[in-house]
Structures are given as C-alpha cells and as structure tokens.
Amino acid sequence: MTEPNSQIARISDMSRKVMQLARDTITVQFRFFDTALAATQIVEKPMLNGYVRDRNVLYYDPAVLLGDYLKEPNIAVRLLLHVLFHGIFLHAYRYDKTNEEYWNIACDIAVENTILSMELPYASLTRDDEARIRIAKLKKWVPGITADKLYREFAVNGISNEAHEEYLRLFSLDYHKPRVEYKEDPETIISEEDFKKIAERVKAELKSFSQKSAGEETITENLEESTKTRYDYGELLRRFAVQGEEIRINPDEFDLIFYTYGLSHYGNMPLIEPLEYTETKRVREFVIVLDTSASCRGELLRGFLERTYEILTSTGNFFHKINIHIIQCDHEVREDRIITSAAEMEEYAKNARMSGFGATDFRPVFDYVDELVADKKFENLKGLIYFTDGYGIYPNKAPKYDVIFAFTNEDKNRMPIPTWAMSTVIETDV
C-alpha cells in the first residue's frame, strides 16, 4: 500500500514534468514567446481545484492537472498558451471595463480564438470543433474577435444564461483573479509597463518572420487592440478649463490662529475675516455635440454623456455655475440644450431623447457655434467635443477654439480629421 505522502509526491513530480514539457514545446515552436515565458511563473498549489491566473503567475492544482491530462493530453500546452496570451494582450489591466464578468468572457473567447487560428495539433482539445462553430456565429455580428470588440457587443446586447454557460464551457480554462485586487496589491513582480514591452516585442518578432504563419493575423489584431494608445478623457476635458474664482474659503491665505483668538477675546468678533474666494482652474463652459445620424445609437450617446458627467463631478472639474451647450446634429442642428449646473447635466445624461437620424454633416454645428460666440453667448469658449462615428463632412476652416473629435470606435476606413483638430476614441460600456 502506497503511503499518502509518497502518493502526493508522485503526483507533484509528474505534474511538474507535464508543465515543463508544455513549456519546452512552446519554446521550441515559437521564439516570440521567449520573453513572455520568462516573465510567467508556474506555481504548484495543491487543493486549488483548478487553475488561477494572477497577472504573470499561473497557479495550478497538480491533481487536477494530471486528471485533465489523462483526458486531454494537450491540456498543459493549451493552458499555458491561454495564460500567455492573456498576459501579452494586457487583459488584466483594463480597469475601464466595468462589467468584469463580460470582460472575462470576452478575454477568454479572444484568447481561444487566437489559439484555434494557429492550428496547433499539440495544443488541440476535443471541444475545439464546437468552439470554432460558436466563433463563426460570433463573427457574423462582431467585426473582429478581440476582447474589446466582444465586450462592446456583450455590453450592448447582454449575454443570455444559455450563452453564458456555453461560453464558459467552450472557452474558459483559468479563473481570473478580480482586477480590483491588482490595484490594491502593490507587490507586482511584472508590472503593466513590463507586459507592454513584452507585447511590443512579440509584435516586432512577428513582423520579422520570413513567412506568414497560421494565426499571425489574429495575434497581430489582438496586439494592435491591446497596445494602442488610450487617452485619459479627463485630461482632454481639462483642456477646456479656465481660471476663475470660487466662493469658498481659501486655506492658503486664511490664518485660523488670529481668527479664533478674536472670537475668544472680543465677543465673538474675529480679528480677520476669511477670504471668501480662491483662484481655481475648472471647466466653466464648452460645447458637446452629439452625432445623431442613423449610425449612432442613442445608447452610445447616453453612455458618452454619463461618462462625461462622472468624470467632471468625481474629479471636481466643474464650477458651480456652468454654461455647457449640448447640441444634437445629423446634417442639421436639431437641438441645443443649455446646461447651467451639474444637476442639470446629470438629468440630461440619464433622460435625453435623441432626434435626427439622417446623414452626417459636421459643418452646421461649427456655423451655429460661431453665431453663439458672435452673439456673446459664451464668455470664454475653450473647446468643443464632437462625439461621432466620423463619417461626415468636415469644415475647411479652423475655429477659434479647440476641437476634439471623439470617435465611437477605431476605424481605418474613415476620412482623416482636419489638421487643426484632435481626435480620440472614447470607449463606453454600451
């Protein structure tokens, strides 16, 4: 009869050999994984009852691994590839994705689709044919099988209970540690910046291949998505800030000692009065334009407004009294709603009704805003944000204020913006 400790030791030893063989297989076949493999720790954790990915660490239960290995001889290679692509695609660091359940499913599908596209016989599983059929269905309404594009589809249309179970069965391999725990844990062996460098190295290695390999296009598409520059929308809004006075105590100029001395010695009469204002730089007035053409859905526009409100209020970027014009326009101006307080902004963001839904022409808005400026409707207009899909006619002449075209998504087919404007992609959860 085998002693329990001896049995545990055998299981541990065999599982380590399985993992090492998987690592060696990937190293030999794909040189562009060398840095990612070097940055990935594989840690044995008995009684885990599965596999857990924690940024650059893969924890595995040796007994579970051997049990899976008996049923699926390629499970270790597949698992390691799955975790490597999660890291290379920077999935753990997308804190902007508020629905973490949808994000995890989208990441698993994107990773598994990448592995399937590589057509690796030594990484195949019995579920693969069924997974390919499901991915083919997804491709009919998702423009590309990347985590961002899948997440956007799920956020807009949701996931049924039946689809949710199917996605987990066909695409999930590892448990994803909640992303909020990454932010709270400063002891990160491999940082987000380190993973970005690894992703850029993989991109460079792929380009240096003498011949195109299976799956290269899918890997590149996901890498482009994960490594693209993402702009801080709050910083863009602060471009429109102006210096002004706020009616509140200025702590830098108020001497509390003299003030309280007067109260205690002269019958509640302070020796000095606190200054009732302080200079601060905040957003007082700007223009938001909503493209209400047929290609821009109301949910997208409301999501953009809600995000704008959240950023301005959470960071204290609003003056108490504001002058914001929210203009709806397709090929003509449909509505101009004047917002004078944060409360009005919140109400409009939640309950706004969209009108228009015709073709797109950007020019009428700029003509209209120029008229507002000429009529002294603004004191010091700093900028205009135009939320649009980008398919419209741009003005030829630069206005006297900053302009940011905030696009709903990445699109290489739309016309370039004028040289006097800025652009960014505002990703919303709708």
Domain boundaries, the chain: 4-227, 234-246+282-425
Cβ neighbours of residue 26 under 8 Å, at least 6 residues apart? 33, 37, 77, 80, 81, 84
β-bridge pairing 402-407 and 422-425: parallel
| Distance (Å, whole) CA 217 – CA 341 | 49
Give the pLDDT confidence of 209-231 residue by residue, as tens digits.
444 555 667 777 777 776 665 55
Phi/psi-derived region of residue 49, left when phi > 0, alpha when psi is between -120 and 50, beta in every other case: left
Q: Quick one: average pLDDT of 368-386?
A: 91
The yes-or-no verdict on residue 345 having pLDDT over 80 is: yes
- What local confidence, expressed as pLDDT, does residue 179 receive? 63
8 Å CB contact between 40 and 174: no
| 405 to 15, 142, 317: CA distances (angstroms) | 54, 24, 21
Q: Quick one: average pLDDT of 68-95?
A: 89
3-state SS of 142-209 is CCCCCHHHHHHHHHHHCCCHHHHHHHHHHHCCCEECCHHHHHHCCCCCCCHHHHHHHHHHHHHHHHHC
The yes-or-no verdict on residue 119 having pLDDT over 70 is: yes
Q: Is 366 helix (H, G, I), strand (E, B) or coil?
A: helix
What is the reported pTM? 0.61
Token duo for residue 73: 């001889």
Cβ neighbours of residue 168 under 8 Å, at least 6 residues apart? 105
Maximum alpha-carbon separation in the chain? 95
| Distance (Å, whole) CA 355 – CA 296 | 11
Q: Quick one: average pLDDT of 339-350?
A: 85
Fold of 234-246+282-425: Rossmann fold (3.40.50)
Unique residue bearing structure tokens 């101006």: 333
Give the pLDDT confidence of 280-337 residue by residue, as tens digits.
445 578 899 998 886 666 677 777 787 777 767 765 555 567 888 999 998 899 999 9
- What local confidence, expressed as pLDDT, does residue 243 receive? 45
Identify the helix (H) or strand (E) that includes residue 286.
Answer: strand 278-291
Cβ neighbours of residue 327 under 8 Å, at least 6 residues apart? 287, 288, 289, 290, 333, 335, 336, 337, 365, 368, 369
8 Å CB contact between 330 and 293: yes
